[in-house]
Structure 1
Amino acid sequence: MNKQGWGAALKAVVSGRMLVALMMGFASGLPLLLTGSTMQAWLKESGVDLAMIGAAAMIGLPYTLKFLWAPLFDRYTIPLFGRRRGWLALSQLALVLALLGLSMSDPASSLWGVAAAALLVTFFSASQDIVIDAYRRESLSDQELGLGSAMFVNGYRVGMLLAGGGGLILADLLTFPKMYQLMALFMGLCILVTLFSPEPREAAGSPRTLREAVVEPFLEFFKRPEAITILAFILLYKLGDTLASAINVPFYLDLGFSKSEIGAIAKLFGFWATLIGGTLGGIWILRIGLYRSLWLFGFLQMASTFGFVLLAQVGYNLPMLTGVIAVENFTGGLGTAAFVGFMGAMTDRRFTATQYALLSSLMGVPRVILSTPTGWMAGEMGWTMFFFLCTVLAIPGLLMIRRFRGWERHA
Structure 2
Amino acid sequence: MTQPIPKSGWRETFRSIFSGRMLVALVMGFTSGLPLLLTSSVLQAWLKDSGVSLAAIGAASLIGLPYTLKFLWAPLFDRFTLPLFGRRRGWLLLMQAILAAALVGLSWSNPATNLWGVALAALLVTFFSASQDIVVDAYRRESLRDLELGFGSALFVNGYRIGMLLAGGGGLILADLLSFPVMYQVMAAFMGVGIITTLLAREPTLPPGAPRTLKSAVIEPFVEFFKREEAWLILAFILFYKLGDTLATAISTPFYLDLGFTKTEIGAVVKLFGFWATILGGTLGGIWILRLGMYRALWTFGILQMLSTFGFVLLAHLGPHLTGLATVVAVENFTGGLGTAAFVGFMGAMTDKRFTATQYALLSSLMGVPRVILSAPTGWMAESMGWSLFFLTCTLMALPGLWLLRRFKGWTEPANA
Q: TM-score, normalised by structure 2?
A: 0.81
User: Residue 3 of structure 1: CA displacement?
Assistant: 2.4
Measure the CA separation in 1 of the matches of 2:219 and 2:96.
27
**Counterpart selection for 1:79 from 60, 83, 89:** 83
Alignment of 1:191-210 (within 5 A): 191-210=195-214
**Counterpart selection for 2:69 from 60, 65, 68:** 65
The residue that corresponds to 2:292 in the other structure is 288
1:61·1:368 contact (CA, 8 Å) conserved in 2?
A: no
1:96·1:187 contact (CA, 8 Å) conserved in 2?
A: yes
Which amino acid in structure 2 is aligned with residue 338 of structure 1? Answer: A
The residue that corresponds to 1:215 in the other structure is 219
The residue that corresponds to 1:345 in the other structure is 349
1:18·1:148 contact (CA, 8 Å) conserved in 2?
A: yes
User: Which blocks of at least 5 consecutive residues in structure 1 are unaligned?
Assistant: none
Task: Describe the superposition over 1:112-151 as per-residue Cα deviations: whole angstroms up to 9, x where unpaired.
Answer: 7766554433322221111011111111122222222222
Alignment of 1:7-406 (within 5 A): 7-35=11-39, 59-100=63-104, 117-167=121-171, 169-170=173-174, 179-246=183-250, 256-258=262-264, 262=267, 265-307=269-311, 322-371=326-375, 373=376, 377=380, 384=387, 388=391, 390-406=394-410
Measure the CA separation in 2 of the matches of 1:320 and 1:113.
47
Measure the CA separation in 2 of the matches of 1:358 and 1:228.
13
| Larger mean Cα displacement after TM superposition, 150-159 or 203-212 | 150-159
Measure the CA separation in 2 of the matches of 1:293 and 1:395.
16
1:243·1:374 contact (CA, 8 Å) conserved in 2?
A: no
2:6·2:414 contact (CA, 8 Å) conserved in 1?
A: no
Measure the CA separation in 2 of the matches of 1:139 and 1:210.
24
Secondary structure in 2 matching 1:199: coil
Which amino acid in structure 2 is aligned with residue 211 of structure 1? Answer: K
CA gap 1:37/1:266 in 2 versus in 1, 3 angstroms:
farther
Measure the CA separation in 2 of the matches of 1:160 and 1:387.
30
CA gap 1:224/1:69 in 2 versus in 1, 3 angstroms:
same
Task: Describe the superposition over 1:84-121 as per-residue Cα deviations: whole angstroms up to 9, x where unpaired.
Answer: 11211222233234444555678899887766554433
CA gap 1:93/1:380 in 2 versus in 1, 3 angstroms:
farther
Measure the CA separation in 1 of the matches of 2:343 and 2:96.
25
1:62·1:126 contact (CA, 8 Å) conserved in 2?
A: yes
Task: Describe the superposition over 1:315-362 as per-residue Cα deviations: whole angstroms up to 9, x where unpaired.
Answer: 877655544443333222211111111111111111111111111121
Measure the CA separation in 2 of the matches of 1:42 and 1:307.
37
CA gap 1:310/1:113 in 2 versus in 1, 3 angstroms:
farther
CA gap 1:90/1:363 in 2 versus in 1, 3 angstroms:
same
C-alpha RMSD over aligned residues: 3.9
Measure the CA separation in 2 of the matches of 1:42 and 1:329.
30
User: Residue 206 of structure 1: CA displacement?
Assistant: 0.9
User: Residue 226 of structure 1: CA displacement?
Assistant: 0.8
CA gap 1:289/1:18 in 2 versus in 1, 3 angstroms:
same
CA gap 1:396/1:91 in 2 versus in 1, 3 angstroms:
same
Measure the CA separation in 1 of the matches of 2:383 and 2:233.
33
1:88·1:131 contact (CA, 8 Å) conserved in 2?
A: yes
Which amino acid in structure 1 is aligned with residue 75 of structure 2? Answer: P
CA gap 1:344/1:323 in 2 versus in 1, 3 angstroms:
same
Task: Describe the superposition over 1:7-59 as per-residue Cα deviations: whole angstroms up to 9, x where unpaired.
Answer: 43123201111111111111122233444565677788989779x86x87654
CA gap 1:44/1:384 in 2 versus in 1, 3 angstroms:
farther
Which amino acid in structure 2 is aligned with residue 196 of structure 1? Answer: L
Residue identity over aligned pairs, in percent, reads 69
CA gap 1:40/1:312 in 2 versus in 1, 3 angstroms:
farther
Secondary structure in 1 matching 2:81: coil
User: Residue 74 of structure 1: CA displacement?
Assistant: 0.7
Q: How many residues align?
A: 407
Of the two, which has the highest radius of gyration? 2
1:29·1:155 contact (CA, 8 Å) conserved in 2?
A: yes
2:150·2:345 contact (CA, 8 Å) conserved in 1?
A: yes
Which amino acid in structure 2 is aligned with residue 17 of structure 1? Answer: R
Measure the CA separation in 2 of the matches of 1:176 and 1:195.
30
| Larger mean Cα displacement after TM superposition, 276-285 or 219-228 | 276-285
